[in-house]
């Protein structure tokens, strides 16, 4: 915007009466019909409802070409959306929410993905989008009556649904970002309130990623500081059996200095690393203390990121 | 000035499907968008419709806006201006010509992503020339010189409050002059 235009708009703004504008009238009602707002749900599922709405915003901008373009895993955007429906459906089945699409034949995430993708083949992208969104919204609505400790296993391993839904938030976010990039759009990160629980979940995964890669971290603790809105500082004992698990702490806390290694990095970059986006060795991070330990932690981080 | 962080947050909230962010946005920017539409179309009913449509467009496809490439205010104003001008052109095409059917239709100028065309920019610059000297000086320092109120105040050796009210007076005068001249 050049200075003349800025001046023109400022003059216009100064010249109009604050009261002289149409009432919003049916604005919100019409807006809801154009693009659904985030589903109303329990606070612990709000990050998921938010990422679903963000994915829907990406889909709202998708052209016919975008829908047919490969995004990840050799899947087109339409197949990717079917993949999200499939995995959301597995969580839905675990908590007794409605499962959309074909009946569940297999609980293997990739097998279930193939089932839903086959059912969506030949349907229009809008229909695939509608089924995915309806599945997500049905899950959100159902969670109001679900104990957050109820086990759910979208990836094979049973974890409390409260965490399973954070895993779904992270995957929906990562794929929304994949799709946005393919369409040359820039997806902004979640608001801080919704990002923080996802960041917390990612730090709690760290000991398990080490275990899964066969690295023995027992007896060691790392301090992870995630910068930016939604970030924080966590003490992460690397032994999954540690009596005191991963916990958030103030940077000034005395115990925060007990760690063998400290990693400081951007909160979004860290969540994406766990989500399988970005290479551990190119992550912009400041490391103090045991560099070898910190390197092993970062290298193990993406281990659970599937398709 | 300095609302960039605000823009980014409102954008994040709208992308996340937060309806209250749309209501806040309307509250903040509808006087400007509506004012601009009235000025271009000279029809309050049409201007109301276009105003609604501008905010609905933002809600439906919020990723068309990128906070790294400009302010939300400028983006909304640009969309509003484009829609209003399109409306005026469509109306003009409908008007019967006194000279019978035209042999050829003049091609509409390609629409750029800007609020003012060259002619209108020149009129704004001209209007600035006819402001009282004191107001003009402060305004030019702020806009052509890209200075903050504080920097203008330092240069002029005046309290910041005085500079602020001088510039606001200038903007109001300017708005009046531009309305008379019919700058679209």
CATH value at residue B165: 1.10.10.10
Mutate to test the interface with A, among B17, B30, B58, B122 (most CBs of A within 10 A): B17
Boundary of a domain, candidates B87, B115, B143: B115
Pairing verdict, β A221-227 and A261-266:
parallel
- Show me where the domains of chain A are located: 38-188, 193-304
Tell me whether B6 touches chain A (CB under 8 Å). Answer: no
| Residue B105 within any structural domain of the chain | no
Same domain (yes/no): B86, B124? no
Residues shown for chain B: 184
State how far residue B25 is from chain A, nearest Cα, in angstroms.
Answer: 11
Q: Are residues B130 and B172 in the same domain?
A: yes
Same domain, B88 and B137: no
Dist CA A150 CA A159 (whole Å):
8
Mapping DSSP onto H, E and C, the string for A271-301 reads HHHHCCCCCHHHCCEEEEECHHHHHHHHHHH
Q: Both B81 and B22 in a single domain?
A: yes
- Considering only CA atoms, give the Rg of chain B: 19
- A16 inside 8 A of chain B by CB: yes
A1 vs B: CB within 8 A: yes
pLDDT tier at A13 (50, 70, 90 boundaries)? confident
Q: Is B75 in the same domain as B46?
A: yes
β-pairing verdict for A261-266 and A285-289: antiparallel
pLDDT at residue B181, rounded to an integer: 64
CATH dotted code for A193-304: 3.30.1050.10
pLDDT tens digits, A210-240: 999 988 888 899 999 999 999 999 999 998 8
Does B103 fall in a domain? no
Task: Determine whether the interchain pair B19/A28 forms a contact, defined as Cβ–Cβ distance below 8 Å.
Answer: yes
**Residue B118 to residues B63, B75, B115, B124, B145, Cα–Cα distance (Å):** 29, 19, 10, 10, 20
* Tokens describing residue A247: 């916990």
Mean pLDDT of chain A: 93
Say yes or no: B64 contacts chain A, CB-CB below 8 A. Answer: yes
Give me the domain span that covers residue B11.
Answer: 1-96+110-115
CB contact under 8 A, A31 and B66: no
> Tokens at residue B77, please?
């104003």
Q: Give me the residue label for tokens 């990612």.
A: A202
Distances (CA, A) of B159 to A7, B40, B164, B165, B166: 22, 37, 9, 10, 11
CA distance A197 to A170: 10
Residues of chain B with pLDDT under 70: 1-5, 96-113, 181-184
Establish if B69 belongs to a structural domain. Answer: yes
A16 contacts B31? CB cut-off 8 A = yes
Distance from chain centroid for Cα B91: 22
Model pTM?
Answer: 0.88
Same domain, yes or no: B40 and B68: yes
Whether B78 and B13 share a structural domain: yes
Name the phi and psi angles at B76, rounded to 5. -65, -40
Residues in chain A within 8 Å Cβ distance of B139 = 7
A48-83, pLDDT tens digit by residue?
999 999 999 999 999 999 999 999 999 999 999 999
pLDDT tens digit string along A164-177? Answer: 999 999 999 999 99
Number of domain units in chain B: 2
Per-residue pLDDT at B48: 93
Q: Which residue of A11, A16, A25 is in closest CB contact with B174? A: A11
From B22, B115, B168, residue closest to A28, measured CB to CB: B22
CA of A48, closest CA in chain B: separation in Å? Answer: 10
Q: A38-188 has which CATH code? A: 1.20.120.450
- Are B68 and B142 part of one and the same domain? no
Q: Would the CB atoms of A9 and B61 count as touching at under 8 Å? A: no
Residue A26: what pLDDT? 87
Contact by Cβ (8 Å): A89, A230 = no
In degrees rounded to 5, what are phi and psi of residue A225? -110, 120
User: How big, in percent rounded to 5, are the helix, strand and coil portions of chain A?
Assistant: 55, 10, 35
- Residue B161 buriedness (CB in 10 A; 0-12 / 13-18 / 19+): exposed
Pair (B80, B140) in one structural domain: no
């Amino acid at each position: 915007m050049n200075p003349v235009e800025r001046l023109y708009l400022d003059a216009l703004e100064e010249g109009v009466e604050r009261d002289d504008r149409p009432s919003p009238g049916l604005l919100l009602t019409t807006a809801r019909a154009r693009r659904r707002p985030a589903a109303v749900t329990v606070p612990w599922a709000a990050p998921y409802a938010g990422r679903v709405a963000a994915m829907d915003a990406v889909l709202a901008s998708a052209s016919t070409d975008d829908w047919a373009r490969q995004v990840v895993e050799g899947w087109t955007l339409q197949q990717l959306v079917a993949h999200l429906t499939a995995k959301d459906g597995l969580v839905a089945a675990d908590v007794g929410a409605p499962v959309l699409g074909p009946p569940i034949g297999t609980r293997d995430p990739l097998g279930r993905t193939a089932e839903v993708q086959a059912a969506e083949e030949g349907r229009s992208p809008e229909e695939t989008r509608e089924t995915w969104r309806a599945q997500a919204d049905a899950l959100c609505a159902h969670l109001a009556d679900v104990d957050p400790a109820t086990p759910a296993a979208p990836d094979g391993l049973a974890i409390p649904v409260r965490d399973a839904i954070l895993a779904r938030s992270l995957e929906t976010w990562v794929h929304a970002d994949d799709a946005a990039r393919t369409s040359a759009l820039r997806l902004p990160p979640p608001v801080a309130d919704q990002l923080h629980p996802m960041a917390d979940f990612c730090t709690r995964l760290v000991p398990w990623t080490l275990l899964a890669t066969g690295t023995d971290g027992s007896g060691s603790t790392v301090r992870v500081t995630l910068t930016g809105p939604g970030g924080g500082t966590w003490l992460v004992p690397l032994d999954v059996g540690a009596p005191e698990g991963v916990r958030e702490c103030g940077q000034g806390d005395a115990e925060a200095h007990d760690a063998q290694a400290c990693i400081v990095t951007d909160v979004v970059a860290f969540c994406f690393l766990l989500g399988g986006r970005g290479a551990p060795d190119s992550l912009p991070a400041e490391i103090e203390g045991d560099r070898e330990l910190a390197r092993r932690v970062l290298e193990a981080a993406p281990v659970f990121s599937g398709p | 000035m300095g609302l960039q962080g605000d823009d980014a947050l409102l954008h994040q909230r709208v992308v996340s499907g937060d309806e209250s962010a749309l209501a806040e946005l309307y509250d903040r920017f509808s006087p400007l968008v509506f004012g601009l539409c009235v000025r271009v179309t000279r029809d309050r009913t049409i201007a109301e419709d276009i105003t609604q449509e501008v905010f609905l467009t933002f809600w439906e496809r919020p990723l068309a806006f990128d906070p790294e490439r400009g302010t939300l205010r400028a983006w909304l104003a640009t969309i509003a201006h484009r829609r209003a001008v399109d409306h005026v052109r469509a109306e003009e095409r409908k008007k019967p010509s006194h000279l019978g059917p035209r042999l050829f239709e003049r091609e509409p100028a390609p629409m750029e992503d800007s609020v003012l065309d060259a002619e209108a920019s020149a009129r704004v610059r001209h209007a600035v020339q006819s402001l009282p000297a004191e107001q003009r000086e402060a305004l030019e320092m702020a806009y052509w010189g890209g200075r903050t109120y504080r920097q203008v105040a330092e240069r002029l050796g005046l309290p910041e409050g005085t500079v602020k009210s001088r510039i606001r007076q200038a903007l109001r005068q300017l708005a009046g002059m531009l309305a008379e001249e019919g700058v679209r």
